[in-house]
Amino acid sequence: MPKLPVVTAQKLIKVLKKKGFVLDRIHGSHHIFVRTRDRVTVSVPVHRSKDLGRGITRSILDDAHITLEELLKFL
């Protein structure tokens, strides 16, 4: 099984959009995305040029019901 890559918030947002999420609102530095068909909400911390840690990336993927294989396919 491949290792979880380190990604930026912008790359993760592109994957979320491909999976049907839309930007609902922005609260400070957190962008909140919603997928209306199953009412799933995820929050992505956006800090310009910083990478997301593997732990927060894994948490966002789990909340969004996105597998590692899907993430790698959409990157």
- 49-65 pLDDT, tens digit per residue, is 899 999 999 999 999 99
In the block, residue with structure tokens 């800090």: 47
Q: Provide the domain count of the chain.
A: 1
The answer to whether residue 36 is domain-embedded is yes
The answer to whether residue 3 is domain-embedded is no
Which pTM was predicted?
0.91
The answer to whether residue 17 is domain-embedded is yes
The answer to whether residue 64 is domain-embedded is yes
Contact yes or no for 6/54 (Cβ under 8 A):
yes
The answer to whether residue 2 is domain-embedded is no
The CATH number covering residue 55 comes to 3.30.920.30
How far apart, in whole angstroms, are the C-alpha atoms of residue 3 and residue 26? 30
Q: Per-residue pLDDT tens, the chain, 75 aa: give them.
A: 678 999 999 999 999 999 999 999 999 999 999 999 999 999 999 998 899 999 999 999 999 999 999 999 998
The answer to whether residue 66 is domain-embedded is yes
Give the residue numbers spanning the domain of 32: 9-74
The answer to whether residue 42 is domain-embedded is yes
Helices 54-64 and 9-18, axial angle in degrees (round to 10): 10
